[in-house]
Amino acid sequence: MLEINPGLMIWTIITFIVLVLVLKKMAWKPLVEALTAREEKVRESLEQAEHARTEAQRLIEENQKQLSHAQGELQQMMREAREEAEKLRARRKQEAEAQAREIIDQGKLEIEREKEAALVELRAEVAHLAIQAAGKILDEELDEKKHRALVDTVLGDFPKS
């Protein structure tokens, strides 16, 4: 059946040891180096990824700060624009009111001038009518200058209102 051959066994052990040494020298060392190199690459990639994540987080925080700052500036600008618009509206209102007052004052002055002109014209007409009436009453035509002086004297006695 099974026989143990000591010579074959020794040669098998020697061949196995030689094969292990050859594999160690030829295959094991490059395999270990390849695995070490791969491990190093993975570690570097993880470090780069962590660095990129940290940098991205920093940029996000910086962008948030800039956004907050921009929003604050925008609100400030809106507030200033509203205040400026309110000031402009108030100034325009004051100008319009002043202009309206000026127009009203000019209108009053014009009415007063027209009133004075109408009174002067009315006095002249009354004087003319009085002279004509006096002339008809007396049935004689008096001198126009005398009548005018007489009427002016009478009108001078009237109140100016």
What are the tens digits of pLDDT across the range 86-110? 999 999 999 999 999 999 999 999 9
- The C-alpha atoms of residue 107 and residue 113 are separated, in whole angstroms, by 10
Q: Is the pLDDT of residue 83 over 90?
A: yes
Q: Is the pLDDT of residue 51 over 90?
A: yes
- The C-alpha atoms of residue 123 and residue 129 are separated, in whole angstroms, by 10
Q: Which residues contact 147 (CB under 8 A, 6 or more apart)?
A: 130, 131, 134, 135
User: What pTM was computed for the model?
Assistant: 0.42
